[in-house]
Structure 1
Amino acid sequence: MFATLDELKGRLDWALDADEERIAAGALMDASELAVSYGREWPEATVPRLVKTLVLKAAARYMRNPNGYIQSRAGDETLAWSDAHGRDAGTVYFTRDEIRLLADLAGRKRGIYSVSVTAWGTKLPQRDAAGHVPVDYAGDPFPMFDDGVSPW
């Protein structure tokens, strides 16, 4: 686990009974497992402080509202759940921003990347000193990326 029960108790504004302590310990375990899923497996001794903060935040959010209610009325007995968190309502969850933070802390960068691909067992064409590669048809070699003067 990335955070302790005592650290979670410090974030809550009431004293936990034995049953709530058991639920809080489970919430910390769930939040830590989710942090690994969205981030990576950090050694517990070197986990970034922000990861610990996010785990405590998610566990405290769950402890304050374990059923995921967004509205409650006593007189009419009306309860309402939000669709904002979908299936996560009433469970330990991270928000989209928290998930992005965990991914960034883990070194998972979002974006588009380019990767050169070749068929199995083939080699990339070898450039000559001037940066030209041979072609399959009869003709002059094709300039590939550099010509010794410019990068293109």
Structure 2
Amino acid sequence: MTAFATLEELKNRLDWTLDADEERIAASALEDASDLAREYGRDWAADSAPRLVRTLVLRAAKRYMDRPAGNTLSRAGDETLGWSDAAGEDAGTVYFKKDEIDLLRSLAGKSKGFGSAPVSAWGPQAKTGIGYVPVDYGGDPFPMFADPVEPW
């Protein structure tokens, strides 16, 4: 499948010039983000997807390119490096945040919440003969109508 954004669009959002290896990684990140967008949204074609899908794909790919190892803190002096659990198991991968996933689902027309479905009885609803009315004097039930074809 074709990615929703181009490598040039991602390069325009990054603060540095990519070398050959980074360009290969960035192209893969765009493909991964596009696959995730199709999974959370719908199977859009790259040229007919909503414009916001492209923006979300670029945002996820940029997030990955900025911090490919998933770290949140890095220092050159004393070699400090830190990670956060904010991304959970997705740290170091291309991922969408919860609000981005919700936005993709809403763009696809997938909504959460309650719905309703029509319910009807299953099988034939034929009358079984003469209808009877119970009587309170202890005798036999009184026939309500005698003709099953024309009860009234």
Identify whether the pair has TM-score above 0.5, normalized to the shorter chain: yes
Distance, in Å, in 2 between the alignment partners of 1:104 and 1:93 is 18
With the length of structure 2 as denominator, give the TM-score of the two structures: 0.75
1:3 aligns with 2:26: no
Unaligned runs of 5+ in 2: 126-130, 134-152
Q: CA deviation at 1:71?
A: 1.9
1:77 aligns with 2:79: yes
The number of equivalent residue pairs is: 127
Large movers: runs of 4+ above 4 Å: none
Whether the 8 Å contact between 1:11 and 1:60 is mirrored in structure 2 is yes
Unaligned runs of 5+ in 1: 126-136, 140-152
- What is the aligned partner in structure 2 of residue 66 from structure 1? 68
Task: After TM superposition, list the pairs within 5 Å mapping 1:1-150 onto structure 2.
Answer: 1-117=3-119, 122-123=122-123
| Per-residue CA distance 1:36-57 (angstroms, 9 max, x = gap) | 0110111111111100000001
Q: Larger Rg: 1 or 2?
A: 2
Gap change, CA 1:14 and 1:118, over 3 Å in 2: same
CA RMSD of aligned residues (A): 2.2
| Per-residue CA distance 1:2-47 (angstroms, 9 max, x = gap) | 1110111111111100000000000000000000011011111111
Q: CA deviation at 1:118?
A: 5.3
With the length of structure 1 as denominator, give the TM-score of the two structures: 0.75
